[in-house]
Amino acid sequence: ATSDGLKRGLNVNDLQKPIQVPVGKATLGRIMNVLGEPIDMKGELKEEDGSAVEIASIHRAAPSYEDQSNSQELLETGIKVIDLMCPFAKGGKVGLFGGAGVGKTVNMMELIRNIAAEHSGYSVFAGVGERTREGNDFYHEMTDSNVIDKVALVYGQMNEPPGNRLRVALTGLTMAEKFRDEGRDVLLFIDNIYRYTLAGTEVSALLGRMPSAVGYQPT
């Protein structure tokens, strides 16, 4: 999923459909790119019975208001400080801020483990613009902590084109939505949001859009 070899004047085929990526339990414990292709050298994605993996479009309509819950429910993380001082609301968004080496990854691993153990849920990690070393370290830390089979990893790393880095968050979101539709609790991690915004700015500039006052894309 790189842009190597692309140049002006090449013929392209319009597939008449958006990016489609694998979803479901077959993605757990695997590392994939923005197109849902495995990049962990473990072979093709397959279901437990050997059948083909279900695929879904990264662009889909949001659930109707009738399908959404009108009550607020807290997600017990099992981490006392979080549950007391900053409780998570199901369906909500939370920012995790901190400097280097203060324990963000450890926190994420605990959340992934607890959501699996206490709620039979899964997690999806979308690495947006990460360094290759960071992605590799995160995978091995997940493996050493025995939680790798509870999380799907999607990477659009720093050395990839901005279009890949911008869309990889949607790839992760699509995989998380599948678990949501199955009625499971699911945590979606996007690391990090600054590089996601930066990728959007790069794409916006390449499309010739007029930037905002501080240089971000107009959308």
Alpha carbon distance 56, 60 (integer Å): 9
Nearest partner of 31 among 198, 152, 205, 168, judged by Cα: 152
What are the Cα distances from residue 214, in Å, to 65, 201, 203, 211?
Answer: 35, 11, 16, 8
Query: 176 by DSSP, 3-state: which?
Result: helix
Strand partners, 190: 126
Contacts by 108-114 with C-beta closer than 8 Å and gap 24+?
A: 108/189, 109/141, 109/142, 109/145, 109/147, 110/77, 110/78, 110/79, 111/77, 111/79, 111/187, 112/142, 112/147, 112/150, 112/151, 112/187, 113/145, 113/147, 113/150, 114/77, 114/78, 114/79
Q: Which of 25, 76, 104, 180 is catalytic?
A: 104
Catalytic residue among 30, 130, 167, 178: 130
- From the list 42, 60, 90, 131, the catalytic residue is 131
Please indicate whether residue 104 is annotated as part of the active site. yes
Beta bridge partners of 88: 75
Q: Is 131 a catalytic residue?
A: yes
Q: Which alpha helices (H) appear in the chain, and where do they start and end?
A: 80-85, 104-119, 132-144, 162-181, 193-206
Catalytic annotation, residues: 104, 130-131
